[in-house]
Homo-oligomer: A and B are copies of this chain.
Amino acid sequence: MAALDLTVPVDQLAAALIDIPSVSGGEHAIADAVETALAAHAPHLSVTRDGDALIARTELGRPERVLVAGHLDTVPIKDNVPHTWQDDGTTLVGRGSVDMKAGVAVMLSLAAQLTEPARDVTWVLYDHEEVEESKNGLGRLSRHHPHLLEADFAVLGEPTSATIEGGCNGTLRADITVRGRAAHSARAWKGVNAIHGLAPLLTALAAYEPATVTVDGLEYREGLNAVGVRGGIAGNVIPDAATVTVNYRFAPDKSVAEAQAHVEAVVAGSGIADYSLEWTDLAAGCRPGLDAELARSFAASVAAAGGGAPRAKVGWTDVARFGALGIPAVNYGPGDPELAHADDERCPASDIHACRAGLEAWLTA
C-alpha cells in the first residue's frame, strides 16, 4: 500500500494523492492510505470509517464546530496519472489535480497539524462523488452517521481558484424516449422512424437560450443540454424507439419541482409526438448562504490570504447536501473549476498554499 506522509509540503502531498488512482468505485486503496496516515500523523483525531469514506473529528469541546469536506474519487484517468510538474515546478498536472486532490491535500495537511484549532473541526473524506447521486458517499454518511456530521458551518474543498464560491446550481437528468413503429428499412413506409422523431427536440435544444439568474447577489448561469442520444437496433430496421438524455443545470432560485416543470415545458413545446419522459437524476441547488456569521469570518480570512470577492458556483456540488441538512456551506478550494475533468487538468501550487493559509487562519483565529 502507498504510504502517505501528511507532514510534507502541501503541494507534494497533493502530488502523492494523484499518484494513487481513485476513479469512482475504485477508492479503496486511497481510503486505506488516508486512514493509515491519519492514524500515524493525527492521533488527536477520532476517526470513523464507512465503506471508503472517513470522518475525522477533533473533540475539544469548542463552542463552534465547522465541517470541511472533500471527495476522494476522480473521473476516469486519461494518460494523466502519475502527476507531473510543469512551469518550473509551479504547476501540478494530473487527474484530480483540480477535482479535487489538491483540496484533499489541504485538508489532510491541516488535519495533521492543527492539534488544537480554535473551532472544533470535522474532516470528511468520501467516495463516489463523480457518479450518480444514489452512490454518493456523503449522502451515505448523512444517512448512517447524521450526528457525526452536525456542524455550524461547512466548507467544501471543491476547486474555486482559492476564492469563496457560494451555493451551487441544481442539476437534473431526464431520458426522453420517442416512440415509432418498427419496419424493415427496405419498406420504410410501413414504419414510423423514432430517430427522425427526435428532430424537433434536438432543434429546440440547439436553439435554447440558457438564463443567467441572480440569487442573493451572485449570478448563476444555467444550461440545458443533450448529454446522450441512442436509437436503432440493426442496419436494416426502422427503429421504434430513440432516446435523448438531457441535463438541466438550474439556478438555486428554483426548486427541483420547478426545474422539472421547466424541462417538461421545453420538451412538450418542442413539438415531439408520442414520447415518454423519465427522471434519472434530481439534485437541488443551494443558495449562497453568505449571510451566516461564520461565513463572514471565513470570507475575511480568505481575503487576508489573497482570495477575491465571493462569486456564484455554477457546477452542482455537495454543498447542496449541507443546505438540505440546514448547515450553511460554501465552496473553497485550489484549482480552476473550468479545468475539472479536462484531460490536461492542472493546478497552480500557489492556489494550494493559499487555500491552506486561508483555512488555517480561520480555524486558528
Q: Which residues of A contact B (CB under 8 A)?
A: 75, 132, 169, 171, 173, 184-190, 193, 195-200, 202-203, 205-206, 210, 221, 223, 225-232, 234-239, 242, 244-245, 247, 249, 280-281, 314-316, 337-338, 340-341
Q: Is the CB of A232 within 8 A of B228?
A: yes
In chain B, what residue has the closest Cβ to A173?
B235
* Inter-chain pairs besides A184-B341, A226-B231, 10 sampled, C-beta below 8 Å: A184-B315, A184-B340, A185-B227, A186-B249, A188-B249, A195-B205, A203-B203, A227-B238, A230-B230, A235-B245
When chains A and B are docked, how far (Å) is the Cα of A40 from the Cα of B337?
76
Assess the A196–B206 pair: CB atoms within 8 A. yes
Q: Do the beta carbons of B315 and A198 come within 8 Å of each other?
A: no
Q: For the complex formed, measure the closest distance between the CB of A308 and the CB atoms of chain B, giving whole angstroms.
A: 18
How far is the CB of A35 from the nearest CB of chain B, in Å? 29
Query: Do the beta carbons of A225 and B196 come within 8 Å of each other?
Result: yes
Q: Which of B221, B228, B315, B337 contacts A189, CB < 8 Å?
A: B221
Q: Do residues B229 and A230 form an inter-chain contact, with CB atoms below 8 A?
A: yes
Most chain B beta-carbon neighbours within 10 Å: one of A199, A203, A231: A199
Max chain B CB contacts within 10 Å: which of A197, A206, A229?
A229
Residues of B within 8 A of A237 (CB): 227, 341
A346–B199 Cα gap in the complex (Å)? 35
In Å, the complex CA distance between A227 and B185 comes to 8
Residues of B within 8 A of A188 (CB): 210, 223, 225, 249
Residues of B within 8 A of A316 (CB): 186
**In chain B, what residue has the closest Cβ to A226?**
B195
A230 to B198, CA, bound (A): 12
A210 partner residues in chain B, CB cutoff 8 A: 188-189
Distance in Å: Cβ of A253 to nearest Cβ of chain B: 17
State in angstroms the CA–CA spacing of A334 and B196 once bound together: 33
With CB as the reference atom, state the residue of chain B lying closest to A313: B186
User: Shortest Cβ distance from A161 into chain B, in angstroms?
Assistant: 13
User: Given A186-B169, A247-B185, is A227 in contact with B232 using a C-beta cutoff of 8 Å?
Assistant: yes
- Alpha-carbon distance A197/B203, docked complex (angstroms): 9
Chain B residue nearest to A208 in the complex (CB): B196
Residue on B nearest A231 in the bound complex, by CB? B229
Tell me if B206 and A202 are in contact (CB < 8 A). Answer: no
CB-CB under 8 A from A314, the residues of chain B are: 186-187
Of listed A188, A210, A227, A231, residue having the most chain B CB within 10 A: A227
* Docked-complex contact B227 and A235, CB < 8 angstroms: yes
Contact in complex: A195, B187 (CB < 8 Å): no
Within the complex, which residue of B205, B227, B238, B244 is in contact with A225, where a contact is CB–CB below 8 Å? B238
Does B206 contact A199, Cβ atoms closer than 8 Å? yes
Considering the chains assembled together, what is the distance between the CA atoms of A184 and B249 in angstroms?
11
